[in-house]
Amino acid sequence: MDLRQVFERMISVSELGRGQASKVMQVVEETGLPFFVMKNNKPQAVIIPIRDYAELVKSREVLASLDIPEKGAPAGDAYKNLTGEEMRFFLQGEQDEES
């Protein structure tokens, strides 16, 4: 998502209160892209599709269940309970951090 798209996906709390919430939720559902809710010109919340939220919750639960060592310490068995899909997800994240 480029910067112009980010600005197009910002909405103020007051706009949501003036009947825009239904429209925003429809756009989020149709496009899968988030909306950023602003209050006093500061980001306060993000409206995302429910499927994305479910994935985030699941990822958080998986991370919480892992015994992840401190950064720089040997990984040991920290990844032993991950499924193949979860392993690819976390390895992709590590590659993104390195670039």
Q: How far apart are CA 29 and CA 9, in angstroms?
A: 13
Q: Give the pLDDT of residue 5.
A: 79
pLDDT tens-digit profile of 13-29? 999 999 999 999 999 99
Q: What is the CATH number of domain 3-48?
A: 3.40.1620
Query: Under a CB-based contact definition with an 8 Å cutoff, are residues 11 and 38 in contact?
Result: yes
Q: Give the pLDDT of residue 69.
A: 62
The answer to whether the Cα torsion of 55, 57, 61, 64 is positive or negative is positive
What are the domain boundaries of the chain? 3-48, 52-98
Phi, psi dihedrals of residue 44, rounded to the nearest 5°: -120, -30
**Does the pTM exceed 0.75?**
no
Q: Which residues of the chain have pLDDT under 70?
A: 1, 67-84, 87, 90-99
